[in-house]
Structure 1
Amino acid sequence: MEKMKFFKPTTEFKEMILLQEIENNHTITQKQLAEAIGAAPSMVNVYISELEEKNYLNREYISSKIVNYKITPQGLKRKNYLLICYMRELLALYKLAKSNVEKFLQSIENKGYKNILLYGAGEVAETIIGVIRDREIYSLNVLAIIDDDLQKQGTEILGYRIIDRSEIEKYNPDAVVITSYTFEEDIMEKLNEVGYEIGKVVRFFGK
């Protein structure tokens, strides 16, 4: 949950996670549950009490300090319902994001480009490759991915080799697509340094 950038956990989300964690591990501690939902351990007991009142789980006191939890059939039903609702919302957001990436890919195709190199071996490159693979026909061909990180060079992302910018000429791409948000301007300068035609550079984030 700490890695989430755009979602503020709702009560329903925390309820879903608590039920999921308890189903997976009936000996889980309040501290572990607190970490799972990003809440203070003192608040977990409040959430647990509410779930118990709704008959979603039962507490088994092993000792004064040790408590086991057991999800009830009603709790399992509730958890599955919340998961379906959560998945439905995620799919709606995914479709929205995918449509925007698709428009970007179509703009590349409209320029007559087919064989491309991506510059920036990160989440954006992975997303673009994923959208291309979801298409029935691969009208765009990713040749490789450029990155200036020496530790990444020579490795792969989703089966695509990560190369140094000095290898661009060897691949003879129709265009280089910049997929880095933070280093976009730096990449433009580096492409200029190696003599790549700037008119064949496409920015995902810029113009």
Structure 2
Amino acid sequence: MNFFDPTSRYKEMALLEHIEKYEQTTQKEMSNKIEASLSMVNTYLDKLESNNLIVREYKSTKVVHYHITPEGIKRKNYLQITYIKELMNLYIKGQDSVSHFLQTIKDKGFKKILLYGAGEVAEIILDIINSQNINIEVIGLIDDNTSKQGHTIKGIQIYDNSYINELNHDGLVITSYAFEEEIISKLKKLNYKKNKIIKYFDI
């Protein structure tokens, strides 16, 4: 996972899922799956077995097969539902944050905007504008990556920055965190009005 450190419950769920799919898995594979040491994997397996969630079948001194029990399946299903619920709650909070941002810039008079940075943030903004019928129109996307230019996201055209002053818009939202300062520098060279620049990550 790129953002969260997996908790013990997440690792338990991941192990149960893995064992259900791959009964002949190895501890090395399980170690890679949950990003834990072999000794930690052993600790998890001992706990799962003591709770009657898995059983170990010893084929030889070196070969072990793992089987999830009916109780293990119930536990896995419970953990999956809990995990999905927490992700949904987090997603809803994120949606609320983006909606608040859009309402804020709309109240400031920005109703036709450009998004500079054709990435995940831009895609989320477009999704929320469409799903919540927010009265803001995205005129176009700007990106410096030539492989993106000429394509579309959610039906919105991606342009290079030479088109900025040709597109009829009220303001420009910088949706790139990593390249924010670089984008501002490029906008200055284009003599773009500072009062039309909106930094998504500053609001």
Distance 1:148 1:24, change over 3 A: same
Query: Counterparts in 2 of 1:27-106, with a 5 A limit?
Result: 27-106=24-103
CA distance in 1, matches of 2:131, 2:60: 53
What is the TM-score when the length of structure 1 is the normalising length? 0.88
Matched, 1:179 2:150: no
Partner deviation per Cα, 1:96-133 (whole Å, 9 max, x = no partner): 22211111100121123222211112222222223223
Partner of 1:10: 7
2:159 matches 1:155: no
Specify the alignment match of 1:167 in structure 2. 163
Which of 87, 112, 125 aligns to 1:115? It is: 112
Q: Is 1:21 equivalent to 2:18 in the alignment?
A: yes
The one-letter amino acid of 1:186's match is E
Counterpart check, 1:191 vs 2:187: yes
User: Match of 1:59, SS?
Assistant: strand
**Alpha-carbon separation, structure 2, partners of 1:70 and 1:157:** 44
What CA deviation, in whole Å up to 9, does each residue of 1:57-77 have, x standing for no partner? 122233333322221111010
- TM-score by length of structure 2 reads 0.89
Residue 189 and residue 64 in structure 1: after superposition, are their counterparts in 2 closer, same or farther (change >3 A)? Answer: same
**Aligned counterpart, 2:123:** 126
In structure 1, the residue matched to 2:198 is 202
Amino acid at match of 2:138: V
Q: Distance in 1 between matches of 2:177 and 2:93?
A: 20
Post-superposition offset of 1:204: 0.6
- Equivalent-residue separation in structure 1 for 2:131 and 2:80 (angstroms): 24
Q: 1:157 to 1:36 in 2, by over 3 A?
A: farther
Give the counterpart letter for 1:195 in structure 2.
N
In structure 2, give the amino acid aligned to 1:110.
D
Question: 2-side partners of 1:31 and 1:179: how far apart?
Answer: 40
DSSP 3-state at the match of 2:139: strand
- Aligned-residue sequence identity (percent) comes to 48
Deviations 1:4-35 (A, max 9, x none): 2xx33222111111111112222222122111
> What is the RMSD of the two structures over their aligned residues, measured on CA atoms?
2.0
Question: Is this contact kept in 1: 2:139–2:168, CA < 8 A?
Answer: no
What one-letter code is carried by the residue in structure 2 that aligns with 1:146? I
The runs of 5 or more residues in structure 1 that have no matched partner are none
- Structure-2 separation of matches of 1:153 and 1:41: 46
